[in-house]
């Protein structure tokens, strides 16, 4: 996927006329779904963080001389982590709201 921000949110392709998504829906019919998207986003975040760590280490050891690319990798990693943290907080807030609803 490359950078974390490039692979997180992708527009869905609408079903063309005559295509059937089956009883599970378009994502589940392809083996995807919400869980697969979350797992993919976490994998992208982990790869962005490891890339940032590797580029910082390479810069410290003198193998990398472009400070701008190192800082961009660091910012991509930081923004990805902040985004993941905000998504987690929103999901937990929604869960708490649902659990506190009167039945």
Question: pLDDT tens digits for 45-70?
Answer: 999 999 999 999 999 999 999 999 99
Distance CA 16, CA 4 (A): 30
Q: Is residue 21 part of a domain?
A: no
Specify the DSSP class assigned to residue 76: H
Reported confidence tier of residue 29, pLDDT bands at 50, 70, 90:
low
Q: Is residue 56 part of a domain?
A: yes
- Is residue 8 predicted with pLDDT exceeding 50? no
pTM for this structure?
Answer: 0.63
Q: Which of 7, 4, 83, 73 is nearest to 45 (CA)?
A: 4
Residues near 73 by beta carbon (within 8 Å), at least 6 away in sequence: 48, 51, 52, 55, 56
- Is residue 7 predicted with pLDDT exceeding 70? no
Distance CA 52, CA 57 (A): 9
- Is residue 13 predicted with pLDDT exceeding 50? no
Q: Is residue 59 part of a domain?
A: yes
Structural domain for 44, as ranges: 26-99
Q: Is residue 41 part of a domain?
A: yes
Q: Is residue 36 part of a domain?
A: yes
Instruction: Domain count for the chain, please give it.
Output: 1
């Amino acid at each position: 996927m490359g950078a974390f921000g490039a692979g997180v949110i992708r527009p869905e392709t609408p079903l063309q006329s005559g295509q059937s998504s089956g009883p599970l829906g378009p994502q589940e019919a392809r083996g995807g779904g919400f869980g697969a998207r979350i797992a993919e986003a976490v994998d992208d975040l982990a790869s962005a963080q490891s890339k940032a760590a590797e580029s910082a280490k390479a810069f410290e050891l003198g193998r990398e001389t472009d400070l701008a690319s190192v800082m961009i990798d660091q910012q991509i990693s930081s923004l990805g982590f902040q985004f993941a943290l905000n998504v987690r907080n929103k999901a937990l807030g929604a869960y708490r709201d649902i659990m506190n609803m009167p039945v």
